[in-house]
Amino acid sequence: MLNRPLLSVLPVAEWPLPPGDRLPCALLLITADGLVHSANTTAHEWFGAQSSAMAPLVHFLGVSEYDERAGELDAFVEGMRQSGQMRELRLALQRHTGERFSALLMGMPLVDPSGLYLGFDTMVLDLSRWQDREALVPYTHAEDLRARLESRTRSHAMAMRDIDAFTQILSHDLRGPLRQARGYLRLMREHTQRSHDVLQAEYTQSALVAIDGVNGMIDALLEFARLSRVPLELRFVPLAPLVQGVLAHLSRHAHAAMVDWRIDGRLPGVRGDPMLLSQAFSHLLDNALKFTRGVERPVIEVGWRDGADGKRVLHVHDNGVGFDRRASDKLFMLFQRQHHSLEFEGLGTGLALTRRIVERHGGGIRCESAPGQGCRVSFTLPPDRVGGTA
């Protein structure tokens, strides 16, 4: 095709398919008005159902007329019409199977002996079989967005598979040995009760407590994994009754009756999952209740304001023991405790789980505190955009 003289070509009507109809490249004959007159088998296999005879070239190649590549193809064709010279064009194309590839179009104008322009023939080469596709033809903006979306979808699916495998290990593989160890320790405890070995009984009980702690950590990890993939049941959620429900649940703690609860009666409505939001407020208020336990006049406040970006900014503020703000970067990590377990119970999971819930709702969370000056946790939630009032 590349060595064909311009003036010694066959008329379009007599143009035969070239030898080797199944060459690893698409061969097309294009008429003067831009229609595909004929094509080899490879071309039809690449471009599928839209690759019918007498279809416009852009349609044959699967390019929308609104795509920026359509303009490149028009300029490619017009350039051969005007110059009468061979031209090349590199662009990204897509097979009918959805596979994208880097293509090189090499076109040669066809003229009859009198010099009349008849059209051109072109070879479409798949360059991605030879070199890196991105180094050859850059993605269009739409292709780039689609490629990013597909990559993130694949990454998300892989992450979900990893989470499933992780939860399987936690739920079964790790708990099995712990159950066996706990069973043997119970037998040991019964033995020490009969032998009245006080020191051995103390060691046995400490080991049982440690196993309970590991089981608690496994439960927390499973809950953390669940919060990463549970579907959100989004709806209008009035926060005032939700917070009151959480407080009713916390009233079982004796210390709750001593707290000066300052709950803003005008708490807004938000768009969210009521079960998960209830869980988030439960973690925050339970922490506030726990860390104000040694305060003479404990005060816990729940309030809100409108954020600059239209989101609701909620806060839970207490006057408890607080913590060193230099450790705030680890505060929202699992199992990061700011106080010794002998002072305050718990595994250090509440804030980590709360952050996951807030982030699943598209919000952010931060904490301000200082030793002996209480703690203020602020977080954002999306406003209700469907119904309900603030």
Give the integer Cα–Cα distance in Å for 78 and 266: 68
User: In Å, how far from its chain's centre is CA 325?
Assistant: 31
Q: Give, for all 390 residues of the chain, the pLDDT tens digit.
A: 444 444 344 444 444 544 446 678 889 999 888 888 888 888 888 988 666 677 889 889 988 878 888 889 999 998 888 888 899 998 889 888 888 888 899 999 988 888 788 889 899 988 876 655 454 555 667 767 777 787 777 777 777 777 777 777 767 677 778 888 888 888 888 888 777 788 888 888 888 888 888 877 777 777 877 887 788 899 999 999 999 999 999 988 888 889 999 999 899 999 999 999 999 999 999 989 988 887 889 999 999 999 877 889 999 999 988 776 666 667 777 766 665 444 556 567 888 889 999 999 999 998 888 777 888 999 999 887 543 333
Q: Which amino acid is at 180?
A: Q
User: In Å, how far from its chain's centre is CA 183?
Assistant: 42
CB 87 within 8 A of CB 77: no
pLDDT of residue 317: 94
pLDDT of residue 21: 62
> In this structure, what is the dihedral angle of CA atoms 251, 333, 276, 318, given to the nearest 10 degrees?
40
CB 90 within 8 A of CB 134: no
pLDDT of residue 199: 84
Q: Which residues contact 93 (CB under 8 A, 6 or more apart)?
A: 61, 62, 63, 100, 101, 103, 124
Edge-to-edge strands of the sheet including 117-126? 36-39, 26-31, 117-126, 100-111, 87-94
Residues 277, 282, 283, CA angle at the centre, nearest 5°?
100
CB 101 within 8 A of CB 114: no
Max CA pair span of the chain? 117
Task: Give the predicted TM-score (pTM) of the model.
Answer: 0.54
Give the integer Cα–Cα distance in Å for 356 and 361: 9
